[in-house]
Structure 1
Amino acid sequence: MTVPCSGPSGGASGLATAVANANLAGHGTIRLAANCNYDFTTTAETGTRGSDALPIIRGNITIFGGPSTHIRRTGGTPFRLIEVAAGARLTVNGIFIEGGDAGVFPGGAILSARGTVVLESVTVRNSTADNGAGIANDSGSLFLLWTLVTGNTTRHANGFGGGGAGIYNDGRLETFNTRISFNTANTSGGGIYSEQGGTARLVHTTLNNNSARFNGGGLLNGVGGRSLLEATLVTANNAADGGGIFDNPGPGTVSLFGSLVTGNSPNNCRPVGAISGCS
């Protein structure tokens, strides 16, 4: 299905209708127009974790765009852009996803609630939430390829969150040729916050210029998390401690292979000696 940029079946309302129809069919491929802004000012659905611009993804849906296709929140009360339900799968290719605001809930731009999300050649930016301002992966699977996550900010809205400005993960996270940069966490995990049994595998990925108020400017590997960095660069991030990486469980839960953690402030890795190969 093709959704034009404007007209009776186009724009934001046309995209919401296309997703609803794909949900009914159980699957679907949606093509969006190049050089087009799909601007949302109202929501299509409200679930247990806030309101969403699009109907909650409940099937196997692929959305293609580009070049310069944007899905944006441009006004109205706070709402995220995309939510993926348990067991559902969303693939997005060639689209800017921006301006989401989940309020006191997780996932400013995208929330995967035990679903699967694949982003390829996507930019997720300028969104906010309590946790996972850019993307929150709640016990699901999240795959990022040639993707940029940037300019997202957590706000610590419900009094105990505020982590994972770029990505919050307690499921399976894998990145390849991806950049996570210039995200700001009100608490910890400026770039990525991975915990509670979550696994993060970062390959040919850059974490740079992210910041956190407390720990883990680039990456916070929290209790129950395991992180593997391969051919990955962590640089120019800052936090109160563990400017590059903070490993909360301790030795052995963060592994570096051919990766470089350098030039972070006030230090690269903490606790001292917890991460082999990191000074």
Structure 2
Amino acid sequence: MMIGPYTDKFGFTEGEFNLILKAFGAEDHGNIIRDWYNGYSFGGHTIYNPWSVISYIQAIPNPPGPKWLNTSSNALVYEEFDRGGLEIKRDIETLLAGKELRYPLSENIKFSDIGRNPMNIWSFLYYSEYLKFEDPNWADYDPNLLTYALSIPNKEISLAYRQFGNRMYEGGDLGTGIKSFISFFLENQSPLILEQTLQDLTIGLVSMYDLAKLPEAVFHACVLGLHANLRSVYEIRSNAEAGYGRVDILMIPKTREYPYAYIIEFKTVDSLSDGEKTISRALDQIHTKE
């Protein structure tokens, strides 16, 4: 990406790094520093983060840890990851597994562009030094689009992505409930898990006053909102015409990785004893209406 006479001016080059190690008698720490603070590439030059290298050498014999990451807030990164939904979360899991992502990069990206397309976040992260790129190749789906293999450059940045991942799944009982709701559809878990999860989320999200007049409609809207986290792998339709009727929520798989489709029908029951009858009536309605 970055080519020109200043590509070696963004940090310490390999030669400069070796001189620094020798000057401070820290040659034995070279491999540790490479693992933690190396990995950036500008115009064919391997570049070390200068702040992190200096901070580590000054702190010897203390163990390595985040240096540059502790100098700024990651609030904007957290916000963009939250906007990206399930697709971004899956990509972070891929990076943390030591694998690469392949995306195009834009040199002209602005802050206002980031939230408009989940792919823009990777350009932002590359130019913010949260990613390194290798192996530029033309995209199979567009011969005029250049894509790059993106990966985590070093241990310091890997720690940042773990913090990002933990932050996205935080939120106490509510965050745990939403994660369980998503996991039911992605991991084919027991319906009992979904039942308990929806009960917990309803108690945490919905007021008794919301349910007073139109409980079925309110619960429908609540569950539909939770399904927004699954839009990258499912086509979500609400009140969709299908067969000879109308489906409350229809989930159509977008990928072979998650092959199950779901038909969701909401019913109101007056008491627990009416539950089995209501379930049978809902199933009959699905079959009759095809």
Higher strand share: 1
Q: Which has the higher helix share?
A: 2
Higher Cα Rg, which structure: 2
Report the TM range for the smaller structure's normalisation: under 0.3
Superposition TM-score, scaled by structure 1 size: 0.26
